[in-house]
Structure 1
Amino acid sequence: MSIIELLSKIRGEQTASITMQQKTLQVLLSFSFGVLLGFISKYSDTIPSNGLLGYILGIISDITTRLGIWVLLATIIAVWSNNPRIGAIKVFAFFVGMLLMYYIYSMWLFGFFPTYYFIHWGVIALASPIAAYIVWFSRGNGWIAAFCAAMPIGLLVSTGYPFFYTFAITHGFEILFSVILFIILPTNQKQRLRIFTSTLFIMFIIRNSNILSYLFGGL
């Protein structure tokens, strides 16, 4: 059995083909969505936390400075694509748009370009198509698909776990995001059980290693 045949058994690509114009539009929309969120993310950092609007923007700022929201959005963009290739391209375009807007806006506000952070987040953005390609299969069937779904869910639960003893709202949102993915990714109840089991394994690996510190330490 070839690799293509194996992958098609995990999750088959949509039979309805899309034109190059449609693919281009989808990528541009993903890029524009990233630009919008990059602007919102940086703008929310600059508003004093006074009044209701300031409080809301403060929460947005806290959420967008953590991994959770980006894992959720990238996963959704990837899995609801026609195939893993276009999903990978759309996720990459999303992060490029977000990073460019965020750091260009930062340069405009403060008069300097934070090269260190831009390069490090840029490297992560370069790796995002690989993760998106893998995660696309999370709405398939079988243990491989379950493992693909468990990776973003397990990451979110691991980063949001402190909510259960700190009750910090940012951690609470990460738990919420993990629940959302656990609801929308499985295609049936049997697959949900596989994802749940795989998520426990992913959580064990993350919480008993320094992988997150290695990947995102100092950012």
Structure 2
Amino acid sequence: MNKFLNDIRSSKNPISINRKIINTMAVLFIGITLGTFSKFLDFCQAELPSVLMAIDGALDVHNFLGRFAIWVLIALCISIYSNSALRASLNVFVFFVGMVTSYYLYSNYVAGFFPRSYAMIWFGFTMISPFLVFVCWYAKGKSKAAAILSMLILAVLFNMTFVYGWGYFEARSILEFVVFIIGVIVLKRDTLRNSVLMGTISIMFAFLLNMVIPFSFG
């Protein structure tokens, strides 16, 4: 417990008010840009280069941005590299507000339609995101509790990245495989051995989670 508390104290690096505002505005801008770009790909997919297309495309960027894995990874990175849990909550909330708002404004006013049921899912995810990343921020520590938290986060990311069952196992796409690898790097522990252990146990957690909640996270 003492080590966990020390992790919390040592992770809080004070920054100026101006820097906090600049960082949050930058996160908002990134969210708006990515939300607009994502909807642009959705709206103009017929004009995309074949390598980016959903059908027989090598990268499948359109569908990739329509699933959760990449957005969870971005939220995780914002959380881990924020200087406090409260700042992580604010920054991630601002990011998703920018991303979701720009996506559905583009959808409504440029594409000419508003998918209400799908939008409600993203609005709900945006509302709970500050609470989730508040907890995720503590995964950056070096305590056993932080290591377990990292394993659980990776387990969720694993189930968003791979589809598997009796006799089959594959990544949803090349890009989502890369997302999982980046997640492992972001959450890596202090030694290679501990990082490998974290990755191995997280996969076990993923299988258990899939048994309890057998729904697609894609």
Task: Normalising by structure 1, report the TM-score.
Answer: 0.82
Matched, 1:175 2:177: yes
Q: % of aligned pairs identical?
A: 25
Q: Given that residues 12 and 84 in structure 2 are in contact (C-alpha distance below 8 angstroms), is that contact kept between their aligned partners in structure 1?
A: no
1:175 to partner: Cα distance = 2.6
Match of 1:60 in 2: 61
Deviation at residue 193 of structure 1 after TM alignment: 4.6
Bigger RCO (CA 8 Å, 6+ sep): 2
In structure 2, the CA distance between the partners of 1:63 and 1:183, relative to structure 1 (3 Å rule), is same
Residues 42 and 106, structure 1, Cα contact 8 Å, conserved in 2: yes
2:138 match? 137
The aligned residue for residue 92 of structure 2 is 91
* Equivalent residues of 2:29, 2:98 under 8 A apart: yes
Aligned CA distance change for structure 1 residues 135 and 194 (closer, same or farther; 3 Å)? farther
Distance of aligned partners of 1:157 and 1:172 in 2 relative to their CA distance in 1, 3 Å threshold: farther
Q: Secondary structure at the match of 1:12?
A: helix
How big is the shift at 1:209?
Answer: 2.0
Once the two structures are superposed, residues 130-176 of structure 1 have per-residue CA deviations (whole angstroms, 9 ceiling, x without a partner) of 111111111211221112212332122223223894756x4333232
Aligned twin of 2:199 = 196
Normalized against structure 2, the TM-score is what? 0.82
Contact 1:157/1:174 (<8 A) preserved: no
Distance 1:86 1:77, change over 3 A: same
Report the Cα distance in structure 2 between the residues aligned to 1:99 and 1:211, rounded to whole angstroms: 26
Question: Partner amino acid for 1:202?
Answer: F
Structure 1: stretches of 5+ with no match in the other structure: none
Change (3 A) 1:15 1:116: closer
Contact 2:136/2:149, CA 8 A, preserved across alignment: yes
Q: Which amino acid aligns with 2:29?
A: S
Q: Does 1:208 align with 2:211?
A: yes
Gap change, CA 1:113 and 1:47, over 3 Å in 2: closer
Amino acid of the structure 2 residue aligned with 1:30: V
Q: Per the alignment, do residues 63 and 151 of structure 1 end up closer, same or farther by CA in structure 2, a change over 3 Å counting?
A: same
Deviation at 1:43, TM superposition (A): 0.5
For residue 105 of structure 2, what is the aligned residue in structure 1? 104
Q: 1:111 to 1:48 in 2, by over 3 A?
A: closer
Residue 152 of structure 1 corresponds to: 153
Structure having the higher helix fraction is 1
1:29 matched to 2:26? The reply is yes
Say how many residue pairs are matched.
210
Aligned match of 1:127: 128
Which one is further off, 182-191 or 141-150?
Answer: 182-191
Q: 1:15 to 1:86 in 2, by over 3 A?
A: closer
Give 1:82 shift: 0.8
Call closer, same or farther: CA 1:155–1:173 in 2, change over 3 Å. farther
